[in-house]
Amino acid sequence: MTTPALLPLSGRRIPPLNLGTSSFPHHRATLRLSEKFILLLILSAFITLCFGAFFFLPDSSKHKRFDLGLEDVLIPHVDTSKGGKNLGGYLIHGQGHDEHRHREEEERLRNKIRADHEKALEEAKEKLKKSRDEIRAEIQTEKNKVAQEMKKKDSKPLPPVPVPNLIGINSEDPTDKDIREKRDKIKEMMKHAWENYRQYGWGHNELKPIARKGHSTNIFGNSQMGATIVDALDTLYIMGLHDEFREGQDWIDKNLDFSVNSEVSVFEVNIRFIGGLLAAYYLSGQEVFKLKAVQLAGKLLPAFNTPTGIPWAMVNLKSGVGRNWGWASAGSSILAEFGTLHMEFVHLSYLTGDPVYYNKVMHIRKLLQKMDRPNGLYPNYLNPRTGRWGQHHTSVGGLGDSFYEYLLKAWLMSDKMDTEARKMYDDAIEAIERHLIRKSNGGLTYIGEWKNGHLERKMGHLTCFAGGMFALGADGSRDDKAGHYLQLGAEIAHTCHESYDRTTLKLGPEAFKFDGGLEAVAVRQNEKYYILRPEVIETYWYMWRFTHDPKYRQWGWEAAQAIDKYCRVSGGFSGVKDVYSSSPAYDDVQQSFFLAETLKYLYLLFSNDDLLPLDNWVFNTEAHPLPVLHLANTTLSGNPAYR
């Protein structure tokens, strides 16, 4: 579908003196401030010329005056050494010069003014003859020049740091033909998603694959920040789609601008943009990604200006004003949001040498450590003004999930030096096992939600990531319970696979129950959708890496086939509204995390283990790989683990 801004404009003339009220109603909005500005410039040039003509072109009275030999004359000159006064390039000489010379000079001056006048008139006429497109192109060129200048200013190189061990950015193709073909199929799906986004949604945050146009949600504010481009970069890179990667890099270089009056989610921008940019930087070594990540992080910092230092959920990138979601309990910030900044912020301090980012996340950690936890559980809500918990709801799914994930990953990312984070993780997981993890009558292990002292026997699709987390945290677990946590990971993977297998489409619902005889199925209509989420496949991948049990590849392949069959449309991939219906409606959104996570985890599932090995890389919650930092020699003030 063609948007008004894309209507063919060539050959059209701008109606003179009709500023902002174009006779082309569909173009009215396109006569923007900058165009008006150019036209105003032209007008003012005219006025200046008229003014000049009025004052400088000789009239009869001036002749009379000169002929009388009175007063001064204007002689073009720049040299003031002879005692004259320089007025904008013209010298004023006193009386007593030869009259003939004066006449010649006057004639010369008159001719010059006339010539200048005519030239300016010609230029102005030429400008007005230009089509809208030409004027727009000129404006764009000017804008680009200004942007380039600003970029030069912002592009001060950051201080060099020891490069972490970047192992396994490339890997051989799998030797097994079947696995290779499956991996190629996933790559083809990525190309389909990317190419359609590029064609119909380029620069927008996401794509509407049915309507074939851009899409956005309030988490990205009202700006076109190219969320899909940033989120997809590292997936493109590891898949070897280097032309596509370069297209993305080029867009980011020229267009990604954070000085926008837009209120964004601090959490989402951190995990998708900062995480995506940092991963792209580490994989490709291209400085632009690091610079953009640092610029953006600077824009998020005002969100931390709260009485407690717990950040607001949202911040306006321009004004720095922050606030929380209206729906959150008692004006609270959300555990999974303010608790999912650590990885990216430590990397930012590492790369810039500026401890500001590190101090912000360590402050949050210290504050949480000091607080009482009901039953040892962390509630999902914390008020940033009072520093008190909101409702006592605890979840390993939405609102809580990645907080636990980041405790574990902070430890892994520090080369297992950050033992404080590991302890917090172990404590939290023990409480979760005690209060939230149960076995259903049918023998399925599930993780419920804690609500004011009661366990709700419902598990979210989001919660399914925890299978992978338990497996990842098995090594190094307290009391050497590695086997136990690997087993727990396997049980969660199995339950989540059941939630897929018990649907018509073989795709998992958003939430499923273990209640009233129900086992791993959704009950409410608004829990039956699948929006291309990655968590189940993420767990399959971690389980595959730690066990090499072929069933995980099998389950991943089932999911990939189901996505390709039921979510693929000619304009990309769409979520579906009911996984229990054989002809479900589409939600018409290609989520950016589909490219960042779902397809990346599938690709890794059918790749060799030496591609991004888990001893060297830690994936952020949006599947952006960040290298393990060997910080022993790097001073980051505040935490003994990093000294």
* Distance in angstroms (rounded) separating the CA atoms of residues 557 and 601: 11
**Among residues 220 and 544, whose Cβ is nearest to ligand DMJ?**
220
Give whichever of 578 and 597 is closer to ligand DMJ, judged by the CB atom.
597
- Are 533 and 602 within 8 A, CB to CB? no
- Catalytic option among 263, 344, 405, 535: 535
Interatomic CA distance for residues 510 and 513, integer angstroms: 11
Cβ-proximal residue to ligand DMJ, closest one: 621
Please, which of residues 480-539 interact with ligand DMJ by CB under 6 A? 533-534
Q: Which residue lies nearer to ligand DMJ by CB, 328 or 636?
A: 328
What does residue 587 show for φ and ψ, rounded to 5 degrees?
Answer: -90, -10
Annotated active-site residue 172? The verdict is no
Task: Please state, in angstroms and as integers, the Cα–Cα distance from residue 464 to each residue in 281, 386, 495, 588, following that order.
Answer: 29, 33, 9, 24
Structure tokens at 330: 């008692």
Whole-number minimum distance, CB 231 to ligand DMJ, in Å?
9
Q: At its nearest, how many Å lie between ligand DMJ and the CB of residue 193?
A: 15
What is the total residue count of the chain?
643
- Least Å distance, CB 519 to ligand DMJ, is 23
Q: Residue 395 interacts with ligand DMJ (CB under 6 A)?
A: no
462 is an interface residue for ligand DMJ by CB under 6 A: yes
Determine, following the binding rule CB under 6 A, whether residue 624 of this chain makes contact with ligand DMJ.
no
Query: Is residue 558 annotated as a catalytic residue, yes or no?
Result: no
Please identify, using beta-carbon distances, which residue of 402 and 503 lies nearer to ligand DMJ. 402
Question: What radius of gyration, in Å, describes the C-alpha atoms of the chain?
Answer: 32
536-561 b/e (C-beta count within 10 Å ≥ 16 → b): bbbbbbbbbbbeeeeebbebbbbbbe
Note whether 621 binds ligand DMJ by CB under 6 A. Answer: yes
Residue from 75, 137, 133 nearest 103 by CA:
75
Q: Using alpha carbons, select from 343, 406, 359, 421 the residue that is nearest to residue 627.
A: 343
CB of 598 to ligand DMJ, least distance (A): 8
Helix (H/G/I), strand (E/B), else coil: 562? helix
Q: Which of 263, 268, 538, 578 is catalytic?
A: 268
Say if residues 154 and 295 touch (Cβ distance below 8 Å): yes
| Residue 622 contacts ligand DMJ per CB under 6 A | yes
* 621 marked as part of a ligand binding site: yes
| Interface residue with ligand DMJ, options 450, 573, 593, 619 (CB under 6 A) | 593
Which one from 510, 538, 597, 622 is the annotated catalytic residue? 510
Q: How many chain residues touch ligand DMJ (CB under 6 A)? A: 8
- Specify the residue, 231 or 519, whose C-beta has the smaller distance to ligand DMJ: 231
Distance in Å, CB of 596 to ligand DMJ, minimum = 8
Known active-site residue 138: no
- Please pick, from the candidates 402, 414, 445, 477, the single residue that binds ligand DMJ as defined by CB under 6 A: 402
Beta strand segments in 219-266, E: 263-265
Output 168 or 276, the one with its CB closest to ligand DMJ: 276
**Is position 268 annotated as part of the catalytic site?**
yes
Closest CA to 512 of 533, 491, 498, 493: 498
Nearest to 235 by CA among 604, 533, 489: 604
**Catalytic sites, residue numbers:** 268, 401, 510, 535
Residues in binding site for Ca(2+): 621
Residues in binding site: 621
The contact set with ligand DMJ (CB under 6 A) reads 402, 462, 533-534, 593, 597, 621-622
